[in-house]
Structure 1
Amino acid sequence: MNPNAEHHSVAIVGGGQAGLSLSYYLQQRGIDHIVLEKRSPLHAWRTQRWDSFCLVTPNWQCKLPGWEYAGSDPHGFMKKDEIIEYLDGFVKHVAAPVRSGLTVQRAAPRAGGGFEIATSQGHYSADQLVVASGGYHQPIIPRLAERLPRDLLQIHSEQYRNAQALPPGKVLVVGNGQSGAQIAEDLHLAGRQVVMATGDAPRCARFYRGKDVVDWLADMGYYDMPVHEHPLREGVRDNTNHYVTGRDGGRDIDLRKFANEGMELYGLLNGLEGDTLHFNPDLRANLDHADRIYNGINAAIDKHIEKAGLDVPPPSVYRPVWEPAAERTRLSLRESGIGAVIWCIGFSPDFSWLDAPVFNGRGQPGHVRGVTALPGLYFIGLPWLHTWGSGRFSGVARDALYLAEQIEARAPVAGTPAARELAEPWLS
């Protein structure tokens, strides 16, 4: 224990939308707290999005606490500069007690309760600790990348800005999740020749039977479903996001359509021999899987419409507009003219700074709605922490309110023996 540590009732690690949302509710309750942020509040939104980035969920789902979307286009999709403007307003609205530019190097429970926190700018202590740093910390780039030619530009999706910033030649996009599919579309629309290595990412329709699919799913209660009621239970946290876009007012992303227009599609990238990439022969299966999910979501909407007796446009089923003539499993980088590779296979969490017995064998924290088995330790802002919206603008307020209530229930009342016992080590 460091006797010079600055003490607070609650320490929040991370100044993104989750940490600031919790700060909003703690301020309402008059609970002393500090937000420790490595860079600046909501830094990732300013630096880790490409130029044409826009929301894939409609604006009405932007429901940060006390700061819901109030613009003129609730069913539109904010572009990058509009998102930043919205978030800048939220930062000012919350006015959280943030300490920016410091890195939390280690946090651990201390004997007798509370937590010790070592940072790059001194020591802190807290009665309760909230991890609000999210789950997207380390860009995933496979070891295979180390063996690619040194003159071949390689970047992660978080580094991509626009097609013009890439060198001449074809662009290999590895991964067809939400980022991969949208980046591939951005390149394709810019006239770049794209080669895509696909995986088993699902897709969904943008609009169906007269309404945005998100609106239908909201009507069906999907976004209120807690993780313990989902058919996959906690396994849903490992799911890849459905690919779709809000670009130009919103539309489907159909890789088959792109293939008809010249995009080269392959199966899962699985190896490298010399300068030749190897792919699994599963392109057809990957495309069929995505379409099966697409049609399955629409079929669920059909049942909802029928049960409610709604008068809306008739149902439809997606039919493939392109089929691979054969599975291609090899591609020479030099012969094909690939000049850049964009790795779009996600991020991995890094909670190595947190020395607490709450993690499973995969490095994931165990919790129930963000509350861990270690008294006073919480998580917020993780995908499917409680519902689909937990890691998004739409659901983080609900999680933040719940945790604020849990924190308030554990906070000792000033002047009581419990409060004096917790404060004693810092009183001198």
Structure 2
Amino acid sequence: MSVEKINTLVIGAGQAGIAMSEHLSQMDVPHVVLERSRIAERWRSERWDSLVANGPAWHDRFPGLKFEGVDPEAFPPKERVADYFEDYARMLNAPIRTGVNVTKVVHNEGRPGFTVTTSEGVFEADNVVAATGPFQRPRYPNIIPESSGIHQLHSSSYKNPGQLPEGAVLVVGAGASGTQIAEELRQSGKKVYLSIGEHYRPPRSYRGRDYVWWLGALGLWDEVKITPKKQHVAFAVSGYEGGRTVDFRRLAQMGVNLVGITKSWNEGVLEFRDGLTKNIAEGDEAYFDVLREADAYIEQNGLSFPPEPEAWELLPDPDCLKQPVLSLNVEEAGITTVLWATGFEFDYSWLQVNAFDNNGQPFHKRGISAESGIYFLGLPNLVNRASSFIYGVWHDAKYIADHIVIQNGYMNYEKP
């Protein structure tokens, strides 16, 4: 069996893998990018039809290419984002091989490097970059039994309202995905319940600047000037319908029924945790924190941004917030579908190396793993909060490429 040898093998041709390829090419590092399907496949087939980028086109891109034909302040739809990455890969002439599934990576015995087994043959690589991103395996709690008769699906399998059976829908999860899907379902005429837990709810824009601008101006991308926020809470921000601040009271006015965290199932009755009002209040406070910091920044720097007093006003609390529902009989409520917008978990079963902690999570510093020659890219908070965004992953990739060049220098050193 022939073995193809390469210095660096990049696994995944989404935003992380393409960014990695650009920097490796600029540093003359021989490499190949392997992609199990098409370039940016998750943008095309593993998200709902109306998904748009979470940031405006002027910001959520790589430095080397603008979104042609897209208003810089607009939020590009998912197909346009996928096309962008295909265009970028073509511009780079990136060495991407599609339709190649990586099944195993192991360290070579008694010598440096790794043996990589794929659906298209075997590689030997000095370095392997896992650029498969954070959205690998759908995660949802095992609460409702299959015997319930309820149609259950994860947000990664949802496409549009017409896909769902007749009846009401419970959307579990109030981050960017859950809130957008709940609103879309309600606009389609469905009765919708939205299960809300802890969340971070920033303004979409304030005083003429999008939130991504404020993240940069206030140092929030790097999180060096703020009190650390709670980990693992839903990030409620969206570019849906041109970009609006996520507002649960507005959703309630539209007819979306707000409930707390989905806790349990008991013979046809869904039970929810108390704490909905508290979680909404904490989300409001996070929102106002950004407004306060933005106002202080404007005053400190003498900027003439237009005032926006209406941003400080909250809609009246709906009845579902004043008197939260703690249980629902699904038959009486007419709920036929539960849509789990509860995020994803990692799947590195193919990466059989010493690069993980005792909990099976990637063990790394800025993407440099505990196993020399293994790197991670595109994960949340790899370096900072920008790391899993288009804007941030490009800069993280540059750091990793530089480290690969340095390590290659050590390995190639010959004492004179």
CA offsets 1:212-237 (integer angstroms, 9 cap, x no match): 222222222323x1x677643xx87x
The aligned counterpart of 2:371 is: 374
State the identity %: 34
Matched ranges for 1:14-93 at <5 A:
14-64=12-62, 66-71=64-69, 73-93=71-91
Q: Is the 8 A contact 1:62 1:68 kept in 2?
A: no
The 8 Å contact of residues 134 and 388 in structure 2, kept in 1 or not, is answered as no
Runs of 4+ with >4 A deviation: 227-231, 412-418
- Name the CA shift for 1:296/1:342 in 2 (closer, same or farther; >3 Å): same
Query: C-alpha deviations, 1:185-204, integer Å up to 9, x for none?
Result: 11122222111111112211
Task: Trace 1:105-116 onto structure 2 (pairs within 5 A).
Answer: 105-110=103-108, 111-116=110-115
Is the contact made by 1:77 and 1:250 (CA closer than 8 Å) also made in structure 2?
Answer: yes
Within 5 A, what are the aligned runs for 1:292-331?
292-314=285-307, 316=309, 317-323=312-318, 324-331=321-328
Shift of 1:290: 1.3
Mean CA deviation greater in 155-164 or 405-414: 405-414
Please state whether the residue corresponding to 1:340 is helix, strand or coil. strand
Task: State the partner residue of 2:397.
Answer: 400
Please say if residues 291 and 318 of structure 1, whose CA atoms lie closer than 8 Å, have aligned partners that are also in contact.
no
- Structure 2 gap segments, 5+ residues each: none
Change (3 A) 1:389 1:415: closer
- 2:128: which partner in 1? 129
Alignment TM-score, normalising by the size of structure 1: 0.89
Q: Distance in 2 between matches of 1:259 and 1:315?
A: 24
Partner amino acid, structure 1, of 2:95: P
Amino acid at match of 1:319: L
> Compared with structure 1, are the counterparts of its residues 321 and 219 closer, same or farther at alpha carbon in structure 2 (3 Å cutoff)?
same
Determine helix, strand or coil for the equivalent of 1:67. Answer: coil
Superposed CA RMSD? 2.2
Q: Does structure 2 conserve the Cα–Cα contact (< 8 Å) formed by 1:217 and 1:301?
A: no
Letter in 1 for 2:257: E
**Whole-angstrom distance in 1 between the partners of 2:33 and 2:329:** 49
User: Aligned equivalents of 1:86 and 1:35: distance in 2?
Assistant: 17
SS in 1 for 2:286: helix
Q: Distance in 1 between matches of 2:55 and 2:61?
A: 12
1:388-425 Cα distance to aligned partner (Å, 9 max, x none): 2211111111111111111112225998659xxxxxxx
The 1:331–1:241 alpha-carbon spacing in structure 2 relative to 1, beyond 3 Å, is closer
1:75-224 equivalences under 5 Å are: 75-110=73-108, 111-147=110-146, 149-150=148-149, 152-223=150-221
Q: Is 1:351 aligned with 2:344?
A: no
> CA offsets per residue over residues 156-208 of structure 1, 9 Å max, x none?
10111111221111111011111001111111222221111111122111221
Distance 1:310 1:101 in 2: 51
CA distance in 1, matches of 2:373, 2:133: 18
Cα distance in 2 for residues equivalent to 1:155 and 1:66? 38
1:13-59 per-residue CA deviation (whole Å, 9 max, x = no partner) reads 11111111111121222221111222222110101221211122111
Closer/same/farther in 2, CA of residues 133 and 398 from structure 1, 3 Å limit: same
8 A Cα contact 1:7 1:124, kept in partner:
yes
Q: Give the secondary structure class of the aligned counterpart of 2:296.
A: helix
The residue type equivalent to 1:286 in the other structure is N
Report the residue type matching 1:407 in the other structure.
I
CA distance in 1, matches of 2:158, 2:140: 14
- Residues 135 and 350 of structure 1 are in contact (CA less than 8 Å); yes or no, is this contact kept in structure 2? no
* Equivalent residues of 2:171, 2:178 under 8 A apart: yes
1:174–1:197 CA contact under 8 A, matched in 2: yes
For residue 328 of structure 1, report the CA deviation from its aligned partner: 1.5
| Superposed displacement of residue 315, structure 1 | 5.5
Specify the SS of the correspondent of 1:172: strand
CA offset digits 1:238-291 (Å, max 9, x no partner): 433531322332111211122123211110001000111111011111211211
Instruction: Work out whether residues 63 and 395 of structure 1, in 8 Å CA contact, stay in contact via their aligned partners in 2.
Output: no
**Equivalent in the alignment of 1:10:** 8
Alignment check: 8 A CA contact 1:171 1:341 kept: yes
2:337 aligned partner = 340
- Distance (Å, rounded) in 2 between the aligned partners of 1:400 and 1:68: 19
Of residues 276, 285, 289 in structure 2, which corresponds to 1:283?
276
Give the distance between the partners of 1:201 and 1:358, measured in 2 at CA: 30
Bigger Cα displacement from structure 2, 39-48 vs 409-418: 409-418
Q: Check the 8 A contact 1:260/1:322 in 2, yes or no.
A: no
Instruction: Give yes or no for the alignment of 1:409 onto 2:406.
Output: yes
Q: Deviations over 1:88-119 (max 9, x none)?
A: 21131223222322322221222321111122
- Count of aligned positions: 410
| Superposition TM-score, scaled by structure 2 size | 0.92
SS in structure 1 at match of 2:97: strand
CA distance in 2, matches of 1:301, 1:185: 28
Which range moved further: 126-135 or 245-254?
Answer: 245-254
